[in-house]
Amino acid sequence: MQRRKSTEVRVGHVVIGAGNPIIVQSMTNTDTRNVKETLKQITRLAEAGCQIVRVAVPDQGAAAALKTICGQSRLPVIADIHFDYKLALEAVENGVQGLRINPGNIGEKWKIREVIKAVQEKGLPIRIGVNAGSLEKDLLESHGGPTAVGLVESALRHVRILEEEGYDHLKISLKASSVPLMLDAYRQIAGLVPYSLHLGVTEAGTVRSGVVKSAVGIGTLLAEGIGDTIRVSLTGDPAAEIPIALDILQVLGLRDKGTELISCPTCGRTQVNIERMAEQVEEKLSKLPPLKKKLSVAVMGCIVNGPGEAREADIGIAGGKGSGLLFQKGEIIARLPEKELLPALFARIDEFVKDYSQK
């Protein structure tokens, strides 16, 4: 996959863009002033595989809480700020590793300069985050509503403000809840500026619509080589977003570690409960420690076609009547009674884990 060339952005120890692996990020939904709960959620996000976390900073209390949060967070913290330059300054002072703020919304030039000076001193990036739901009034009027051209125009306005001040350590997002709209906007901006792009579908909804919208929106752009960091948005627990984001990268071949489950759709040849077996294997895989290589596991319905259909799997089983096969890379390695299939597969998975584990 040919990836778009983008400029490099550093968020703490995490490097985004310039051909680096795609970074997965999320946002806490706790009250940022509740330091304990916010840190607890950040830890859960980190354990799920999140690499950068954003926290909302709506007031001074939240900005003050950042001191402890940033000091103890397992992930680089980005402060999400609207309008108030003082909150931005305090967030930087309190140790955040990036800002999400739109300079055009800060107000007077001197306030923008203060923010730029503060981030420059610490080498921090800014994300310009344009959202179809909060597009400037004049752009909504001139384009007859939120359009891709309007989103891009808004982003370019913010970009120019920063560039005119000599600042270009930035990345951009152009989110919309409409997938065709965000696709159009990201495709346009990708050809207009060199900056790293943060991909996301905003207000994507609860699990069903959120997963589909994010997979299609983010996945389509990534498949075209566009995008440097991604955020899957789901209404609910942000930790639930991370496996979805990792899976999007996995299925596009943009992640060379972790696990992948391959299971057949079943058909008239199936004589065992493959659905139940696949669920058990999925559960087993979800509990494995982080792997430094990719492990793919197949659960197939029949011994005639299964091993061949799942030839690319590292390890797998194929069910038959009363017995089944254990296979590795398409080669049969054992024929076992049905009840011994899963235990044998799990034992093999554990052997892979020993080899592939990061610890």
Contact 23, 78 (CB under 8 A): no
Residue 266 as a binder of ligand SF4 (CB under 6 A): the answer is: yes
Contact 336, 324 (CB under 8 A): yes
CB of 79 to ligand SF4, least distance (A): 50
What is the token pair recorded at 50? 């999140």
Residue 306 as a binder of ligand SF4 (CB under 6 A): the answer is: yes
**CB closer to ligand SF4 out of 135 and 313:** 313
Residue whose CB is nearest to ligand SF4 in the complex, by number: 301
CA–CA distance, 271 with 286 (Å, rounded to integer): 26
CB of 325 to ligand SF4, least distance (A): 11
Q: Which of 55, 174, 278, 302 binds ligand SF4 (CB under 6 A)?
A: 302
Which range, of 35-43, 150-158, 182-190, 302-310, touches ligand SF4 by CB under 6 A? Answer: 302-310
What is the token pair recorded at 343? 């235990």
Residue 76 as a binder of ligand SF4 (CB under 6 A): the answer is: no
**CB closer to ligand SF4 out of 81 and 300:** 300
Longest dimension (CA), the chain: 77
Residue 265 as a binder of ligand SF4 (CB under 6 A): the answer is: yes
CB of 273 to ligand SF4, least distance (A): 12
Residue 277 as a binder of ligand SF4 (CB under 6 A): the answer is: no
Is residue 50 part of an annotated ligand binding site? no
Total number of residues binding ligand SF4 (CB under 6 A)?
12
CA–CA distance, 148 with 156 (Å, rounded to integer): 12
**CB closer to ligand SF4 out of 51 and 263:** 263
Which range, of 195-203, 237-245, 267-275, 285-293, touches ligand SF4 by CB under 6 A? Answer: 267-275
Residue 301 as a binder of ligand SF4 (CB under 6 A): the answer is: yes
Residues 6+ apart with CB under 8 A from 138: none
For residue 9, the cross-strand partners are 16
State whether the Cα torsion 215-221-224-225 is positive or negative: negative
Q: Which of 67, 269, 329, 335 binds ligand SF4 (CB under 6 A)?
A: 269
What is the token pair recorded at 3? 């990836």
CA 168 remoteness from chain centre: 23
3-state secondary structure of 15: strand
Residue 264 as a binder of ligand SF4 (CB under 6 A): the answer is: yes
CA–CA distance, 99 with 156 (Å, rounded to integer): 18
State whether the Cα torsion 107-111-117-118 is positive or negative: negative
What is the token pair recorded at 12? 């703490």
Q: Quickly tell me which residue has 């972790």 as its tokens.
A: 258
Q: Which of 121, 123, 191, 267 binds ligand SF4 (CB under 6 A)?
A: 267
Residues at the annotated binding site? 264, 267, 302, 309
Residues at the annotated binding site for [4Fe-4S] cluster? 264, 267, 302, 309
Binding site for ligand SF4 (CB under 6 A): 264-267, 269-270, 300-302, 305-306, 309
